[in-house]
């Protein structure tokens, strides 16, 4: 995957350059976000995208559609969004 600040002008262009269909790119990006976490030193953002970053599944996509989010500052000083606990906390 390209660095977050790379010069690729669109996901479609990136997919084409890599010989991927858009469906394959979605699977690759979703899988990458579903496993692991963002690192502030490379992207300015910190944290996981799912509650279990070591389990492969569709939690990343479920969170995109269903999670309630609140804005917070990342360790890098950028605004990022974090999930709000279902109990309101």
Give the model confidence (pLDDT) of 36-77 as tens digits. Answer: 888 888 878 888 888 898 988 888 888 888 989 899 988 878
Specify the pTM: 0.63
What is the predicted pLDDT for the residue at 21?
A: 93
**Do residues 59 and 52 touch, judged by C-beta distance below 8 A?**
yes
| The total number of structural domains that make up the chain | 1
Q: Is residue 70 part of a domain?
A: yes
Q: Following CA atoms 67, 38, 56, 18 in sequence, which dihedral angle do they give, to the nearest 10 degrees?
A: 110
The helix (H) or strand (E) run that includes residue 47 is strand 47-48
> Which residue did the predictor score with more confidence, 86 or 70?
70
pLDDT above 80: residue 23? yes
Answer whether residue 60 is part of any domain.
yes
- Residue pointed to by tokens 């990458």: 32
CATH number of the CATH domain containing 25 = 1.10.420.10
Q: What percent of the chain has pLDDT over 90?
A: 8
Is residue 2 in a domain?
Answer: no
Token pair in block for residue 40: 């502030």
Specify if 26 maps to a domain.
yes
**Residue numbers of the domain that contains 29:** 11-83
Rounded mean pLDDT of 30-40?
84
Tell me if 51 is assigned to some domain: yes
């Amino acid at each position: 995957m390209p660095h977050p600040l790379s010069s690729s002008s669109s996901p479609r262009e990136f997919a084409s350059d890599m010989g991927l269909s858009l469906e394959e790119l979605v699977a690759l990006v979703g899988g990458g976000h579903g496993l692991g976490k963002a690192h502030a030193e490379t992207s300015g953002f910190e944290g996981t995208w799912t509650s279990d970053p070591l389990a492969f599944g569709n939690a990343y996509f479920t969170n995109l559609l269903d999670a309630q989010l609140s804005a917070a500052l990342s360790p890098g000083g950028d605004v990022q969004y974090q999930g709000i606990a279902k109990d309101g906390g």
